[in-house]
Amino acid sequence: MPHYKVGKKHMAYVRALELENVKQSFPNKRIAIVIPIGRHAGALKQVAHAHMKVKVKHLETCQFPDEIREDGLAKQEQGLKLGRKYGER
């Protein structure tokens, strides 16, 4: 099958159609999407039952500790420092 290059808007539309097909195949299932930092998903949000956007605070909450001792206990000295690259404004 040949590979065609398509734009981002076209791919968003295709993903929304795929999601619509999943909803039709499994009408009793609820579909939720998680949108990464710095991304948009307008077409998918319209099709999904629920959606949320990942925020920097979510990443900070899930960060591994800065140090893990040999006895397996964690020691966290300071939180995650994310810059503009990850969507912090």
Query: What is the per-residue burial (b if ≥16 Cβ within 10 Å, else e) of 8-36?
Result: eeeeeeeebeebeeeeeeeeeeeeebebe
Binned at pLDDT 50, 70 and 90, residue 88 comes out as very low
What are the tokens at 79? Answer: 């939180």
32 or 72, which is more confident: 32
Q: Considering only 21-25, 30-34, 81-85, which range has the smallest mean pLDDT?
A: 81-85
Residue range 34-84, pLDDT digits in tens: 999 888 888 889 999 999 999 999 888 888 777 777 776 665 555 555 554
- Residue 41: what pLDDT? 87
Domain boundaries, the chain: 1-54, 56-89
- Do strands 50-53 and 32-35 pair parallel, antiparallel, or not at all (unpaired)? parallel
